[in-house]
A and B are shown apart, each in its own frame.
Chain A
Amino acid sequence: MIWLTWRQFRAQTIVTAAFLAALAVTLLVTGLSLAHLYDSSGLATCHGPGSCGPLASSFINQVKGGLSEKVFYAGIYIVYAAPAIIGMFWGAPLIAREIEAGTFRLAWNQSVSRSRWVAVKLGLIGLAAMVTAELLALMTSWWASPVYQAAAAARSDSLSIARIAPPLFGAQGIAPIGYAAFAFTLGVTAGLLIRRTIPAMAVTLAGFALVPFAWPSWVRPHLISPLRESMPFSTARLDEVMIGAGNQMIVGDTASKPGAWILTNQAVKPDGQPFTGPPTQACLDRGVQACNAAIGRLHLRQVITYQPASRFWAFQWYETAIFLVLAVALAAFCAWWIRRRRLT
């Protein structure tokens, strides 16, 4: 059974191995030069935000706009895309192809029970999926580590990189393990229920797309109660002044929480209601100093809810656990369905 799983999966293994190898070479080459750049910037030996800040700025400015920036973002896309591709190309065809070709009538009449057949396939290929996704995450994280270190050393708002916030969060740590397991079993289930490979691939893609898009907005922020902070609205940190139709004005401060995941950031009036206008005359006239002063006289407060950077690993464990549980539930459903239901 193990041999059969491997033999039927051989083509995918070769393609994946080739891709991983090519990616590894690319990341190695560009990553070494990035590390070299980091070393020569002096950031390794600096102390304190005061001295590190300018060094970090110059380092990151060098990185920006070049090949390295493209590689950075490509890495993130790859780590997000990998579970989706795994779900579509490893998961969806697993059972759907056997049903379409009728070969399940051959496979399930050997001396191996159906339960064992599906358990070995799900187990071995699921494991391969998790390992592949995590390898990709580790490789890209290794590559990007100089950038993260520089941002952490600077500890300034303008250079902060929030690893706990989307989209970076899902491409790091151990979360990809959960995503890969979930996407794979989602694909297998879709193939089992729909019984045709191409529609199952489409459904898997649509189902998994919830992960990078809907999940971080609807579910993840509430896994741990966010922190709430209220501070005087400071025009020194003024980030935006927007005058809109219908006599509206929105003002915003930078949140000044380096590395944190800012969920909400509002300017509120002394009575607690969000400030929406009306626009002060000084701001309509576009005089910056006068506008700032006018806003200051409104005595607004800035209220933010956020998840601090220190909770990164807590969220990683929660995320991975939830998606692994979903994966196991889907796998159990598949096993039950195959044992019980007709498939001819």
Chain B
Amino acid sequence: MSCACLDTRSGVSPYLQLIHQVRQALRLGLLSEGDQLPTVKDVVARLAINPNTVLKAYRELEYEGLAAAKAGVGTFVTRTDGSLAAHGPLREDLTHWLAKARTSGLDDESIEALFVTTFRNSTSSARNQAGNGAAHAPADSTPQVTGPTGHVRSE
């Protein structure tokens, strides 16, 4: 699995970060069907977090159908989330857009800020349209991108 780090300052719980990291790895093709997720023991030995946190994350992945636990052996990926590799045309469009942004004189930080604000606006309007309540954190929210230097992780 990719970088075994947790961002303790992002305000996102380790549980959610773990789930997100696995989903991200699936999207990027770093994990494919049949691969074994790191054992609970290995994860906590690296990250020094509570084993129950890892267990809960793996159970959530199981619930979403992304992984399955085999008793006594470990937890294995059951399906990939539609690898991003399949989205070639979208990637091309994005590359074009980035080129246009650069030629219009925006620097990297401005490009990122433009993307983030547009992304957030579109997400919240989508949520308002769906009419959810006021104060729940949805179980599968992607972690909020923090600050101007926070990157969406993309290894």
Any A–B CB pair closer than 8 Å:
no
Binding site for A on B (CB under 8 A): none
Binding site for B on A (CB under 8 A): none
